[in-house]
Amino acid sequence: MSETALAAPTLTEKLTAAREAARVLATVTSGQKNAALHAIADAVMRNESRILPANELDLANGRENGLSDGLQDRLRLDVNRLAGLATAVLQVADLTDPVGQVMRGSVLPNGLNVTQVRVPFGVVGAIYEARPNVTIDIAALALKSGNAVVLRGGSAAENTNRVLVDVIQSALMEAGLPLECVQTIDEFGRDGATQLMRARGFVDVLIPRGSANLINSVVAESTVPVIETGAGVVHVYLDESADLTTSVEVVHNAKVQRPSVCNALETLLVHAASAERLLPPVLARLREAGVTVHADARARAIFPDAVPATVEDWATEYMSLDVSVAIVDDLDAALEHIRRYSTHHTESIITNDLARAERFLAEVDSAVVMVNASTRFTDGGEFGFGAEVGISTQKLHARGPMGLPELTSTKWVVRGSGQVRG
């Protein structure tokens, strides 16, 4: 065998193979795609003995390199999380295939039958950090929506992702689909990420997931169209009429249930008229859970155990057991604070006043706005989408949790019988 035959494929060769695989995927049936998804879910569980040691190696490297606790949590896989990933793949298999769905249509007066139908993008690129779950989630969603996917998962999860992609590719071949439907370019390092961002003509859309720096870099540098997912400087506002028990439980869940993720609470705003009533029990519950409270002077006067908040705190996505707290004079002040510091991800109001709730929903310009609910519900799985591609904070095409329809475009199909335009 020649040295050329043994050589690993170049990035361009991988991208070319992805386009070929996308053409195959565009023609396969929902049944074939679902069979592949079941094979992937089964393979993930069967290969626990390969995946978890690779993940532990990445975690050990992360600890040695000073990876933050929040990123370590996102990186970590265990038996339960692996089972959750497999379950998410099966949930995607159970979802309705969006490809071919008719969006709208009509028969024109001249007899032409015109319909707009959903079609795959073709090749989807993903750039993300320390999140092996994204490898599985995006692969599953891309497959079901008829797209090939090229993954750049970052050095922090390189060992885990290498094994996961190998497991996925083996399952694809078992199901009779090209292994190039799912590929990683981690071996090309940062240069690979740069080339992926410039791969217009090979890649149809690029999705970044990770820190604000990563997302902003991809948006600024990419010549490939980008669906922008965003960092989560997430707010909860306790209104004057907020119920005490609801406030304690929602704030605790939004901050503590999983603090390292983008829908976790980062800033708590409290109406001045309810601060004496609500702040002590709400913050005491957080402190019991190990949360460090960064508070403004008015909040510290009520809860002296807090540390002083700085201007930087209001714009910080902690991804840790930290929360910033401010007392505001009224709903207007809360809305102004959110307009100034929000990343337009998720915001929630706790209130028993219907008019204020409706005003909050109407005026807050975020992908998801809530009333009397934890921000942790901003999630594709919780919204019934199965796995999710990410939370889009842009306003074009997709916004909020992204599922299967957000990985499709449309085309117009015209059926005629010889009509010509006069």
- So where are the chain's domains? 9-229, 234-377
pLDDT band at 229 (very low <50, low <70, confident <90, very high): confident
Using CA atoms, how far residue 367 sits from 205, 263, 386, in Å, is: 20, 11, 19
The predicted-structure confidence for 66-79, as pLDDT tens digits, reads as follows 998 888 988 999 99
Instruction: State the average pLDDT for the chain.
Output: 94
The predicted-structure confidence for 334-379, as pLDDT tens digits, reads as follows 999 999 999 999 999 999 999 999 999 999 999 999 999 999 999 9
The pTM for the full model equals 0.83
Lowest mean pLDDT among 44-53, 63-72, 218-227, 290-299: 63-72
The predicted-structure confidence for 328-345, as pLDDT tens digits, reads as follows 999 999 999 999 999 999
Rounded Cα distance, 385 and 378, in Å = 11
Superfamily of domain 234-377: Aldehyde Dehydrogenase; Chain A, domain 2 (3.40.309.10)
Domains 9-229 and 234-377 share a fold: no
pLDDT at position 244 is: 98
pLDDT > 70 in the chain, percent:
98
Between 3.40.1830.10, 3.40.605.10, 3.40.50.300, 3.90.1150.10, what CATH number should domain 9-229 receive? 3.40.605.10
pLDDT at 50 over 90: yes
pLDDT at position 1 is: 45
pLDDT band at 205 (very low <50, low <70, confident <90, very high): very high
